[in-house]
Structure 1
Amino acid sequence: MIKYLGRDDNGIRKVVLNLFLTGDKFTTGEVYDFLDKGNFEVSYRGVSAMVGLMNTRLGILSINVTGDHNVYSLKESYKNIVGSVLENY
């Protein structure tokens, strides 16, 4: 996770991880809207790829496939780890 954040040039990954840490469950669209309102220049496809990568490569997100939208949340077992990494990064 530290390497993942180390390649975060504009802070967007840290913001998304913090969103999942402090929030509940989010669709890709909700993450996109949050970042768009936060003045990040993002595309929907880019956000979808980022969240998908967090799910598959880092393995820290839980996914619930419901109809047209996947709903993501931070796995309970990773909340302390993600919080510690974000606090010290």
Structure 2
Amino acid sequence: MRDETGIRKSVLKLFLNSKPYTTQEIFDFLIKEGFDVNYRGVSAMVGLMNTRLGILRVDVKGDHNIYSLKNEYKNAVKATMDNY
């Protein structure tokens, strides 16, 4: 309900592709989708989604975080997105 622009929905759909993404890749995807975002905002949003929902796995490679959807949550996220 609080996702008025659909940005979080787009990010969750991206994670359903079963591929890990860096913050830069998520940022680039959102820009391509037409969202008006900045890099720091995307980083904060994904970090908050991780801490609040606990459905993302974070791997730290050097100075980059790499996010992916935990396998055990894929079906639940897909079902939720299908009904959203």
State the TM-score, normalized to the length of structure 2: 0.97
Structure 1 residue 38 displacement after superposition: 1.0
1:29 equivalent in alignment to 2:18: no
CA distance in 2, matches of 1:87, 1:50: 22
Structure 1 residue 25 displacement after superposition: 0.3
1:49 counterpart residue number: 44
Instruction: Say what the alpha-carbon RMSD is for the aligned residues.
Output: 0.7
2:64 to 66, 69, 72: 69
Query: Residues 32-55 of structure 1: CA distance to partner in whole angstroms, max 9, x if unpaired?
Result: 000011110001111001100111
Task: Identify unmatched segments of 5+ residues in structure 1.
Answer: 1-5
Task: Identify unmatched segments of 5+ residues in structure 2.
Answer: none
Between Structure 1 and Structure 2, the one with more helix by share is: 1
1:80 equivalent in alignment to 2:75: yes
Total equivalences in the alignment: 84
Structure 1 ranges of 4+ moved more than 6 A: none
CA distance in 2, matches of 1:81, 1:70: 24
SS in structure 2 at match of 1:71: strand
Structure 1 residue 23 displacement after superposition: 3.9
Return the letter of the residue paired with 1:52: G
CA distance in 2, matches of 1:60, 1:23: 13
CA distance in 2, matches of 1:33, 1:69: 15
1:60 equivalent in alignment to 2:58: no
CA distance in 1, matches of 2:76, 2:27: 24
How many percent of aligned residue pairs carry the same amino acid?
63
1:20 to 4, 15, 18: 15
